[in-house]
């Protein structure tokens, strides 16, 4: 019988929570001493967490690019008004 899944839903994890859990997973895998099945479960969870972290980073990058583009557009409009 498998253990119940007590993890938070992926959508509820912040970047920091996912990163911290990923670090813990990596430490467990590097330490060894787990069964093959447990190692596979940890690896799969690590992949999920890496995807969550990448999603947060991609979202942050998109927000920064949008803010930068908006600022550049505002500067162009300001220059046009000065002419």
Q: Are 22 and 46 in contact (CB under 8 A)?
A: yes
What is the rounded radius of gyration, in angstroms, for the C-alpha atoms of the chain? 21
Q: Residue 1: what pLDDT?
A: 45
Domain ranges of the chain: 14-82
Q: Residue 5: what pLDDT?
A: 52
At 46, list the tokens: 């690590």
At 8, list the tokens: 């938070």
Instruction: Express each pLDDT in 25-66 by its tens digit.
Output: 999 999 999 999 999 999 999 999 999 999 999 999 999 999
């Amino acid at each position: 019988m498998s253990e119940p899944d007590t993890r938070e839903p992926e959508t509820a994890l912040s970047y920091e929570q996912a990163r911290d859990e990923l670090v813990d997973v990596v430490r467990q895998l590097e330490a060894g001493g787990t069964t093959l099945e447990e190692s596979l479960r940890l690896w799969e969870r690590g992949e999920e967490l890496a995807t969550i972290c990448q999603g947060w980073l991609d979202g942050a990058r998109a927000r920064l690019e949008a803010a930068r583009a908006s600022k550049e557009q505002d500067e162009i409009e300001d220059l046009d008004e000065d002419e």
